[in-house]
Amino acid sequence: MHSRFRSDRRLTTRMGITLFLLGLLYVGFVAALIVLLKSWVLVVVVAAGLLGAQYWFSDRIALYAMRGRVVEREEFPELHGVVDRLCALADMPKPVVAVSDMDMPNAFATGRNPDHAVVCVTTGLLRRLEPAELEGVLAHELSHVAHKDVAVITVASFLGVIAGLIVRFAFYSQVFGGARRDQNTAVIFAAVMGVSVAVYALSFLLIRALSRYRELAADRAAALLTGRPSVLASALTKVSGDIARIPTKDLRTAQAFNAFYFTPALGREPGVARLFSTHPSLEQRLDQLGRISAELGEAAAPGGV
């Protein structure tokens, strides 16, 4: 399937390199666990089962975690209308359309391929954006589906999820069952935790680097498809400003899924956190859209509708 979204060779190259490096890391991780736990059957079966579940059911998992529900045309005709127009313009299959009942203005796409994808927007986003701005955001999300980087991020995040789960399991096992273990078992658990922490840290950095570039690629593809980068710039400015005013305690749950969102749920966190952000800065995104606007000779200035 080849959509009319502008292809991005640099994105494709980065996705390939990231998956290759994570694959090597994953093989090493599994091998280390087999050596430490002395049970290759358990490690392989559990790892393969979790990877398969995350790949095949990623859309359902993401919708459930972010309180999204599939909606029909009768319930949200305008939303379906925008998605229909963009899919026709991009010459791509229409994804499942969902809505999340959250005040935080945001959107995300998930799914293993363009034929099994979901695009979800929050009610907070629908209330705040003008129709043209909503079209820009949805074009951004559909470009993730067309570029297949949604599937790559889903698979790439698997290793970090597994490593994080093992760290938690090992930690609580030591805390609540340490008195009943001998010294050799304690050493094995410490080694497993150490390997898992290292794997989590490396996968964290690789995924963040890819995620920041894919957001710029999605902005670029959406702006070129619609021919209105200033509208997307306006939506970015509005959404980022509104998220910053939402109390941090209300954003904590959403922050675990920042890699999938249109804009990160960062609230008022200090600038240091942005070094490890899943998204480029707002300034970077607006600068790029401004350059595209100039190249296209768009009449409206970036930030205007």
Reported as a single tens digit per residue, the pLDDT across 81-130 is: 999 999 999 999 999 999 999 888 999 998 888 888 999 999 999 999 99
Cα(189)–Cα(199) distance, integer angstroms: 15
Determine the distance from the C-alpha atom of residue 263 to the mean position of all C-alpha atoms in its chain, rounded to a whole number.
Answer: 10
Comparison of pLDDT for 258 and 234, the residue scoring more: 234
Our answer to whether residue 141 is catalytic in this structure is yes
Dist. CA 256–CA 245, nearest whole Å? 19
Given the residues 135, 141, 283, 298, the one annotated as active site: 141
Q: What is the CA radius of gyration of the chain?
A: 21
Lowest mean pLDDT among 103-117, 191-205, 207-221: 191-205
Q: Which amino acid appears at position 120 of this protein?
A: C
The pLDDT, as a whole number, for residue 198 is 79
Q: Of 40-54, 147-161, 230-244, 277-291, which range is least confident?
A: 40-54
| Residue 140 known to bind ligand | yes
135 or 298, which is more confident?
135
Residue range 192-210: mean pLDDT, rounded: 80
pLDDT at 275 over 90: no
- For position 271, what pLDDT does the model report? 54
96 forms beta bridges with 118
At residue 190, the pLDDT reads: 74
Average pLDDT over residues 131-144: 96
Instruction: Name, of 54-58, 241-245, 260-264, the range with top average pLDDT.
Output: 260-264
**In b/e form, how buried is each residue of 1-31, taking b as 16+ CB within 10 angstroms?**
eebebeebeebeebbeebbeebeebbeebbe
Q: Is 215 annotated as a binding residue?
A: yes
Helix axes 282-296, 229-244, angle to 10 degrees: 160
- 261: DSSP letter: B
Tokens (6 digits) for 291? 């350059």
d(CA 135, CA 290): 18
- Is pLDDT above 70 for 162? no
Is the pTM value of this prediction over 0.75? yes
72 is in an annotated binding site: no
Q: Which segment of 1-5, 92-96, 109-113, 209-213 scores lowest on mean pLDDT?
A: 1-5
Average pLDDT, the chain: 81
**What is the predicted pLDDT for the residue at 300?**
45
- State residue 302's pLDDT score: 45
